[in-house]
């Protein structure tokens, strides 16, 4: 019998569940401890995609019951002045989570800004201390998108242990932390990049996570029958159609599970940001860190 079409992984529904879990915990935190988690989002300049993402983050924060602030310095802000903004948020006890939306304007070094965020308020999981703790297999704040992918795998009952996991893309935001999270769950992990023999690696994947930003770069014919396919990509084609990094229809004929684009991984990023902010508030809002 030919492989039946893959089951869709409904990221939108899972994300709604995660946000509902967070909201219930926020309600309890407010009632029992009088503590309201606070999230500050910093958006520099007028990048149109960043505006959409940040609006989504603010809306979700309000829905789960956080206090939220958007700081919106203009494109021309100096690195020193932006650092001053971060320092003020670091010092503000009402702010438990700080997120600096990327990309930043060219004259600002993102590494300097990310490193300036207090690690305990770094709800993106991008600070070197949090990224390093993930590398060491210690409990830490995890980058939201790969953390969301791990939740999706859990939801479909996919245990990575002993499986071949192939991660396409080696960004600090998705690819590298994704590979480490899969390794922590005992997958055998391969990271692919522009110099890899992509087809050969993809053909061996039981779990495939693609995050490169190339429209339909991974062909459906390369997918191992029965594989779990997670598409982190989001690309606008010249005809206006939104597509992922995987050729969806052809891949869905071979995969056991696949994420749609949109409605797959995308909504999970924001949901896990809510989870990270709540966890930061519980960890450092209830018991202030003494330094």
Least distance (Å) between residue 195 CB and ligand GUN: 24
104 binds ligand GUN (CB under 6 A): no
**65 vs 146, which CB is nearer to ligand GUN?**
146
Separation of alpha carbons 67 and 290, rounded Å: 24
Helices 144-155 and 175-184 cross at an angle (nearest 10°) of 40
> In the annotation, is 57 catalytic?
yes
Interface map 120-139 toward ligand GUN (x if CB under 6 A): ----x---------------
3-state helix, strand, coil in the chain (%, to 5): 45, 15, 40
89 binds ligand GUN (CB under 6 A): no
> In the annotation, is 124 catalytic?
yes
Q: Under DSSP, is residue 54 helix (H, G, I), strand (E, B) or coil?
A: helix
Residues 265, 268, 273, 279, CA torsion sign: negative
Separation of alpha carbons 64 and 196, rounded Å: 42
Q: Which of residues 142-161 bind ligand GUN (CB under 6 A)?
A: 144-145
Among 35, 102, 135, 250, binds ligand GUN (CB under 6 A): 102
| Residue facing ligand GUN at closest CB distance | 102
Q: Residue 198 corresponds to which tokens in the numbers above? A: 């992509």
**125 vs 285, which CB is nearer to ligand GUN?**
125
Separation of alpha carbons 244 and 233, rounded Å: 4
**173 vs 228, which CB is nearer to ligand GUN?**
173
Give CA separation, 115 vs 30, 98, 107, 110, 131, in Å: 30, 12, 16, 8, 11
**21 vs 47, which CB is nearer to ligand GUN?**
47
Interface map 235-274 toward ligand GUN (x if CB under 6 A): ----------------------------------x-----
> In the annotation, is 197 catalytic?
no
**25 vs 124, which CB is nearer to ligand GUN?**
124
Least distance (Å) between residue 131 CB and ligand GUN: 13
Catalogue the E-assigned strands of the chain: 7-8, 38-42, 67-71, 97-100, 164-168, 188-192, 207-210, 228-231, 235-236, 242-243, 257-258
15 binds ligand GUN (CB under 6 A): no
173 binds ligand GUN (CB under 6 A): yes
Least distance (Å) between residue 87 CB and ligand GUN: 18
Strand partners, 147: none
Contact residues for ligand GUN (CB under 6 A)? 99-102, 124, 144-145, 173, 269
């Amino acid at each position: 019998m030919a492989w039946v079409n893959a089951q869709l992984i409904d990221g939108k529904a899972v994300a709604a569940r995660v946000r509902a879990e967070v909201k219930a915990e926020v309600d309890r935190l407010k009632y029992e401890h009088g503590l309201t988690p606070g999230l500050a989002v910093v958006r520099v300049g007028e990048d149109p995609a960043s505006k959409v993402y940040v609006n989504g983050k603010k809306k979700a924060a309000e829905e789960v019951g956080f206090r939220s602030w958007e700081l919106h310095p203009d494109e021309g802000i100096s690195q020193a002045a932006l650092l001053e903004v971060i320092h003020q948020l670091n010092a503000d006890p009402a702010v438990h989570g700080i997120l600096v939306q990327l990309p930043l304007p060219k004259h600002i070094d993102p590494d300097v800004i990310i490193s300036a965020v207090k690690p305990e308020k770094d709800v993106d999981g991008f600070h070197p201390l949090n990224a390093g703790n993930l590398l060491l297999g210690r409990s830490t704040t995890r980058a939201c998108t790969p953390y969301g992918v791990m939740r999706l795998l859990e939801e479909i009952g996919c245990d990575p242990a002993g499986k071949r996991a192939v991660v396409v893309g080696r960004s600090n935001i998705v690819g590298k932390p994704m590979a480490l999270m899969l390794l922590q769950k005992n997958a055998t992990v391969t990271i692919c990049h522009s110099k890899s023999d992509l087809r050969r690696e993809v053909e061996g994947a039981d779990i495939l996570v693609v995050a490169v930003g190339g429209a339909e770069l991974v062909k459906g014919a390369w997918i191992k029958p029965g594989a779990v396919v997670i598409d982190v990509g989001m690309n606008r084609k010249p005809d206006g159609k939104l597509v992922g990094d995987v050729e969806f229809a052809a891949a869905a004929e071979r995969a056991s599970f696949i994420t749609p684009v949109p409605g797959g991984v995308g909504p999970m990023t924001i949901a896990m940001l809510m989870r990270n902010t709540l966890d930061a508030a519980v960890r450092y809002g209830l018991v202030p860190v003494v330094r």
